[in-house]
Structure 1
Amino acid sequence: MPTIVDRNEQRYVGYRATVGPDGMAEVAHRIAAIIGALAQRGLEPACAPFFRYLVLGTDRETVTVEAGVPVKEPLDLGDEYFNDVLPAGKYAQATHHGAPSGLFAATADLLAWGEKEGVRWDRTVEADGEHWAARLEIYRTNPQFEPDANNWDTDLCFRLAG
């Protein structure tokens, strides 16, 4: 059952791309690259890495997404990467336990719950698609410690309007 939670703003290092379904794996690999770059500097992520969905294309074939790794301080990792801050606020949160292949259904369930509850998402609809302030998949399980994807936990956190 989803809950409404308050989230503080969170600084992160990210990588952004607009991709089709085939490009998501490349974006996901950037999480490991960022974590590796942090390790080379003797740093660890401030908390769990995430995907941030910014624009869901009107064609439903493209998405502008960020791979993000929370950090305590801004960090220069080169031109491909940037520093940003996830906005504070109220979020609807639900946890998906299982393989990433189940995230599509878990997302649909969270959106349906929001519809039923009269939730207003922090999003706008524009000519090129849905623009979200913060629609997150937060990857709570480290695959290095738990290789069985059926045991992974992913938090879906979607920012509410207002």
Structure 2
Amino acid sequence: MDIIEAPAVVTKAARPYLGIRVVTPFKGMFAVRDELMKELYAYGDGILLFRLHVVDMAGPMDIEVGLLPDHPAGPGPVAAGPAEDRGRVRAGVRPAGRYATMTYVNHGRRAHGMLIDWIRAADLEPDVTETPAGDRFGCRYEAYLTDPRTERMKTRWQIELAIRLAD
């Protein structure tokens, strides 16, 4: 794993996006993510957001793939205004707040573990609730800073990982 930006706490504003939310087993989850990414690109350019609403590595994962309207390649229809529901594609909001973040390349599982360990070591509290379905996060996501349409090698993608902290 290459760390592009070391873990830090940053404040983020609320951001609208278009997304598709599904429940899927962890095994095969990334294939589902990839299909949802392709589907969302029909709505324009943007930074892809892979949001983990409920994490249960042994059971179903509640995930969402979203499209934020500000990809360096230029604005698309998503950037034209507030996100609106479009059938299976729904309006969503990345909530405002303080986030523990880091940017990395390759080895997502290691990056997630590293950021969670950093949060604990810094005596910070993530916005997470343990439920019977798994850990429900106020907001935990990966933002794909590399456009997957131009770089097919997932091991080369620059990814911002963020976990919202409790108030």
Q: TM-score range by the shorter chain?
A: 0.7 to 0.9
Gaps of at least 5 residues in structure 1 are none
The reply on whether 1:18 has 2:16 as its aligned counterpart is: no
Cα distance in structure 2, aligned partners of 1:34 and 1:159: 24
1:9-66 CA distance string (max 9 Å, x none): 0101111111112143123321221121x24xxxx33xx1111101112x63321000
Alpha-carbon distance in structure 2 between the residues aligned to 1:128 and 1:26: 20
Amino acid at match of 1:96: Y
SS in 1 for 2:28: helix
Unaligned runs of 5+ in 2: 1-5, 69-77
Query: What is the one-letter code of the residue matched to 1:97?
Result: V
Match of 2:137 in 1: 132
1:121 aligns with 2:120: no
Task: Determine if the alignment matches structure 1 residue 8 to structure 2 residue 13.
Answer: yes
- Of 97, 117, 121 in structure 2, the residue corresponding to residue 89 of structure 1 is 97
Matched, 1:35 2:34: no
What's 1:75 paired with? 84
Tell me the C-alpha RMSD between the 2 structures: 1.6
Same amino acid, percent of matched pairs: 25
1:121/1:158 contact within 8 Å kept:
yes
Name the CA shift for 1:24/1:97 in 2 (closer, same or farther; >3 Å): closer
Alpha-carbon deviations, 1:78-127, whole Å to 9, x = none? 1x2211111101100011113xxx10111001001111111100111112
Partner of 2:3: none
SS in 2 for 1:142: coil
Residue in structure 1 matching 2:61, options 63, 77, 88 = 63
- What secondary structure sits across from 2:136 in the alignment? strand
SS in 1 for 2:19: strand
Code of the aligned partner of 1:73:
P
Q: Is the Cα contact below 8 Å between 1:122 and 1:159 reproduced in 2?
A: yes
Q: How many residues align?
A: 150
